[in-house]
Each structure stands twice: as C-alpha cells, then as structure tokens.
Amino acid sequence: MIRPVFTFLCVCVLRMGGFSVSVTQAALQSDEPCYDWGVWSVDSVRVYDGEVAPLYCPLFSHPTLYNYNQTQNSSLSLLWYRHKNTHDLEQPINLKLRKLHKDREYLWIQPATAEDAGLYICMLRNISTCVKIGVQLEVIQRDGDCDIRARPHLNLSVPLNSDRILSCPDLHTLTLPNSTYSVTWYHMCIAILFSPMPSFELKGDNVVIHMMMEALAGLYTCVVSYQMNGRKLNFTRTINIKSIVPNGLSKVPVIQNPAKGQIYSVTVGKRATLFCQAYLPYLEHEKTEVWWTIDGKTVEQLGDPRFSSPEATLESEYHGDETKMRLLFVDDFTSDDLLRELSCSANNSKGFNSSRAELKLEEYVPTIELGCGLGVTLALMLMMFVIYHVFWLELLLVYRSWFGSDERYTDDKQYDVYISYARNSEEEEFVLSTLRRVLETEFGYSVCVFDRDSLPGGTITDDTLRFVGLSRRLVVVVSPCSAVRGTQALLELQAGLTSMMQGGSVRVVLIQFKPVRRQSWVKELRRARLALTLIRWKGEKSAPVSSRFWKELQLELPIRRHTQHTALTKNTETQLTDKNSNIPITHTENTYTGKRKLMDSCSLCAV
C-alpha cells in the first residue's frame, strides 16, 4: 500500500517540474517494474557537430527526490542507455569508448557527431527500485565559425543604463579532473577582444557590461576550449540579450563612460586619449551638452595647448534618446597630469551628471626600438652564420695568421713536412709535380721527400725514422697501394703514429689520393682514420691553389705568416747535417739514390 502512494506522489511532483509522465502499465505489472517518467520536456541538449555534448540526467533536477551523493549511499546505480528506433530497444552505453565519459550525473560525448543524435535514457536502479527518464540530444550543423541565427541557450532582458555580468552557460560542468579551459566571447559574431565598444569588456571568463545600451543587445556567443586526453575539444553556448526600458526612467543625463570601476591606461611621454560618453533622454526642443573639465575648468578655460577636446558623432538613438561622446586628447602626458582631476560632465534642463576618470600609469615599453634591435641582431647573426658557413676555412686561416705562433721558433725541427706515399708512377708524379711544388713554391714550406733527400749507403729504416723525427708534419698520401704490408709507406705511417703517441712532436695528416675500400685497409690506417683528419684530393677540381683542398691542408700544416722564401729550384743544392756525425753533405734536388735499397711491393699494384 505504501509503494503505490509513494509512486503517485513522485509522479505528481515530477509533472510539476516539467517531466512528461508515461508510466506504462506493463512496467507496473512486471516482476521488476521500472517507472518510465518519459522524456524531459523542459529542453533538449543542442550542440554543434564536432563539439562536446554534456548530457545531464534530469532525475537530479529535484534534489529533494534524488541527490547524487545520497543515491550512491543507497546503492542506487546510475546507468545510461541509448534508445534505438529498431524494435524500440534500449541499448546500454559502452563507456569503454574513447569518446564517452561518465562524470557523476553527466554523460560526456567528446565530440558529438550527427550519428550521436537521438534519445538517451538515464536510469537509477537497485534490487528493489528502478526509475528512468529520457533526454533528447540534437546535433546541428554550424553555419561558419559563428552562427548569428543560432537558437540561443539562454534569453536575458537587461534594463538600459544598468550593468550586468554575463557568464558562459554550463561552464561549471567543465570541472573535470586534469582539465584546463579557455573562453572566447563574440558579440554578433564579432570577437569582443577586438570590439571598439567602450561600454563592455572581458574580465576573466565573463563579459562585463558597464552600461547597457541598445547597441549592446543581441546574440552573445561563448566558445569554451579545453584539452582532454591529448585532444582539443570545444563546446558553444549562446545568450540572447534584449535591452528594455526600466520603469520610471529619469530624464537626467547618464554618464556611460567613464563608468564605475573603469580605468584608463596612460603612458608618460605619449598621447593619452580619453572618451566621455553620455546617455541623454529625449526632451523636446532641448539643448544638451557634454564636456570635459580639468581641475574644475573646461578645456577652453584652461588654455593649455596640450589639451584638446573634439566632439565625436554617434548615430545611436532609441525612442528619441541620444548618446553623445566627447574625446579628450592630452599630448605629451606627464606624471603631473596624474594628479589632475579629469571629469566627464553632461547636463540638460532636468539635471546635471558627472563622472571622474581614473587613470593608471603604464611604463613605456619601447616596442619599436626593441623590435628593430632584435631584428637587426637576428639579421647580423644570420649573416654571420652564412659567412662562417661559406667562408669558415678563410676565417680560420686569417685567424691563424694573426694570432697563431710560428713553430720554427719553438722547436728544433729541420723540415715542415715529410711526405709519405706509395712508390708508383702515378703517386710519385702527384707528390713531386703537384704536392711538393705547391707546398715549397707557393706556401714556403720546407718539404722532405725520402727518395729525393736520402743519401746512398744508409739503412732505410734508420733514415726513415730520422727524417720523420726531423719533421713537424707527416703527410700520408692514402691510396689502395698504401694498404699493402711491408711497404715503406706503411713504415713511415707507423713511425709518425708512434711519435704522436709518445711525445706529440709530429702530427700526421692524411690525404686521400684514391678511394680505398675500408675492408682492405690495414690496422694502422683504420686507427689513423678514426683519429686524424682526412683531406680528399678531387683531381682537377682541387688543382687550383685557391681550392678547398689547399685551404684544408694549410689548416693542418704549420703557420707561415710570411710567404717570402727562397724557391727551391731544380739542381738547387741543399745542405743536410747528420746529427750523429755532424758532417755536412751536399746533394742536388734531381739526384735520387742510384738504386733504391728497397723495391716497394706497391710499385706493381694496380691503382
């Protein structure tokens, strides 16, 4: 007996709250009856295609009947279903889908598409109780970024000359964990941030209307954006504002700007612009005035050329009422002007009104100067980067010539360069006719070539080690023949590497004359290639003295600030002194050892 009475009372209360009751007789007669309260008839949920749809369960619209926290304590479960037209079946919502999210009494569809439109049913049930209600979801297509013909979610009437704060409807539903949001407002599809209207402004997430006017009526649109699970989601709400004439409106002028709490920002040394706007009720054959006063005097009475106050024309009239604006320009604003009393005044035959302007000093930020300075700096950095990228070799050579030290004054070496190469006709011609010639005649280096500078009767191993020890650089010409074991070229490379590791008195430089497959390199060449610079000879392209090859080679060779030297010509005598015997020996450049002490095995290899 108690249950039917309770059910009847619930149905009566919910009908008064806007529910469409349709408790089916079949449900009442079933073993586990579920009371169907129909479809929520107050309003449907309307969202744009591709935006978030928050569905609120209408069962919680009357907290005296159902409260979310109380239902959780009473073991009632909130379930969501979607009504399918086929056979009138209700299918449970799959909350495992990424786009669906349940948060307390809300079901979120993130985002909603046209396929998601339809009837959704929220149900509260446990073992002994079951009740459900439907809510309709409409997914509509957007006409551009902002639809001025959209049906509003909220209608408001605001009296003229009053203030009002507009908040985005349903913004409180965004209190989801780990989510932040931003709100963008539009008035008649024009972004409020760039709107020239002085009587309203953005403050946080709200729009503050300082003084309601006819021009401020119309459709306000707020677009809420937030991030959820790495996706950017939006939903849009619209408010339709209608301006109304308040009862008993006074005919006394109303100052709309400066409004209460409105602050004008000024900068010392710049021109300050202040606007005075007054609403003047209609009076027949009435003359109205709007003006600025500075310390109780009008601009004309003040007589200061820095102050000027032209009148601005506004074409806004409402039932004979009009709005007038007068500007105030202050040239070369000073800190003393902050102490002045700047007031906007208006009067007619019915009365007088005035409002003082509140000023706020802002520090001058030299935006143009900073922008130009930053632009010049970036341009210089880019130009220096390009110059260095293109001419880095030349810059390093110039730096070495200015600040480097000549090694001839810090060691007792006899030669600048010792050239090591495989003894075959092609490499011998490259070394003697090109490499040696340029190093001696063009750059002024003293060059040692074993076959040219060694004396008959010595031991190849001892003479090689002695020549390498007397040289500042060991230039190794790398080719397929250099990889053959048992050659003098390999002995010279080993001597140079050993000298570098023990004392660092000799630096080894590798010149790739012919490409060599890495698999065929001997162990010494592989180790040297990993630690040393490899300069590649590119045939005719590298032949000119101004080519990149010779510049890279100069960076590895000792510094020579002065190129004045005595060119070594053919048949020029050179004196060598044997450190062991101190006996001067004379020989000519074109004199080679009568017969080589070792026939290089590389002389027969194919290059």
pLDDT tens per residue, range 29-71: 345 678 888 888 777 788 888 888 888 888 887 776 787 877 7
Per-residue pLDDT band for 438 (boundaries 50, 70, 90) equals very high
Phi then psi for residue 407, to 5 deg, are -70, -15
The alpha helices in 470-571, defined as continuous H runs, are: 488-502, 523-531, 548-556
Whether 492 is catalytic is yes
For the beta sheet containing 181-187, the strands, ordered from the edge strand earlier in sequence to the opposite edge, are 154-159, 231-244, 218-228, 181-187, 190-191
CATH of 407-604, one of 3.40.50.10140, 3.40.50.720, 3.40.50.261, 2.60.120.200: 3.40.50.10140
Greatest alpha-carbon span in the chain: 137
Residue 120 has pLDDT above 60, yes or no: yes
Residue 281: closest CA among 252, 305, 308: 252
Residue 105 has pLDDT above 70, yes or no: yes
Q: Across residues 315-327, what is the average pLDDT?
A: 72
Strand partners, 420: 476
Phi then psi for residue 173, to 5 deg, are -75, -5
Lowest average pLDDT, out of 216-230, 480-494, 592-606, goes to: 592-606
pLDDT value of position 513: 87
Higher local confidence (pLDDT), 315 or 165? 165
Q: Across residues 579-606, what is the average pLDDT?
A: 37
Distance CA 333, CA 331 (A): 6
Residue 448 has pLDDT above 90, yes or no: yes
Q: Across residues 375-388, what is the average pLDDT?
A: 89
**What does 476-489 look like in DSSP terms, one character per residue?**
EEE-GGGG-TT-HH
pLDDT value of position 179: 61
Topology of domain 2-140, CATH: Immunoglobulin-like (2.60.40)
248 torsion bin: left (phi>0), alpha (psi -120 to 50), beta (else): left
Higher local confidence (pLDDT), 518 or 352? 352
312 neighbors 370 (Cβ within 8 angstroms) = no
Q: Across residues 134-159, what is the average pLDDT?
A: 81
384 neighbors 378 (Cβ within 8 angstroms) = no
Contacts of 439 (CB under 8 A, 6+ apart): 416, 417, 445, 447, 557
The alpha helices in 61-106, defined as continuous H runs, are: 68-73
Residue 100 has pLDDT above 80, yes or no: yes
pLDDT tens per residue, range 183-192: 888 888 888 8
255 neighbors 353 (Cβ within 8 angstroms) = yes
Question: Among 51, 427, 492, 552, which one carries the catalytic annotation?
Answer: 492
Report the DSSP pairing between strands 130-140 and 35-39: parallel
Q: Across residues 3-18, what is the average pLDDT?
A: 46
The 8-class DSSP code of residue 19 comes to: B
| Residue-averaged pLDDT of the chain | 77
Q: Under CATH, which architecture does the 254-362 domain have?
A: Sandwich (2.60)
Looking at the chain, the whole-number percentage of residues with pLDDT higher than 90 is 8
Residue 524 has pLDDT above 60, yes or no: yes
Say which amino acid occupies 538.
Answer: K
Distance CA 164, CA 189 (A): 20
Residue 489: closest CA among 519, 511, 470, 515: 511
- Residue 515 preceded by cis peptide, ω within 30: no
Q: Across residues 5-22, what is the average pLDDT?
A: 44
Say whether pTM exceeds 0.85: no
Q: Across residues 153-181, what is the average pLDDT?
A: 78
Contacts of 506 (CB under 8 A, 6+ apart): 468, 469, 471, 472, 473, 474, 496, 499, 500
CATH of 154-244, one of 2.60.40.10, 3.40.50.300, 2.40.128.30, 3.30.420.40: 2.60.40.10
Higher local confidence (pLDDT), 229 or 382? 382
Residue 293 has pLDDT above 60, yes or no: yes
Look up residue 519 and give its two tokens. 């698999």
360 neighbors 307 (Cβ within 8 angstroms) = no
**What does 303-360 look like in DSSP terms, one character per residue?**
--TTEE-PEEP---EETTEEEEEEEEEESS--GGGGGS-EEEEEEETTEEEEEEPEEE
Per-residue pLDDT band for 418 (boundaries 50, 70, 90) equals very high
169 neighbors 239 (Cβ within 8 angstroms) = yes
Residue 314 has pLDDT above 60, yes or no: yes
pLDDT value of position 152: 84
Lowest average pLDDT, out of 70-74, 144-148, 426-430, 468-472, goes to: 144-148
Lowest average pLDDT, out of 313-327, 344-358, 575-589, goes to: 575-589
Residue 467: closest CA among 522, 506, 509: 506
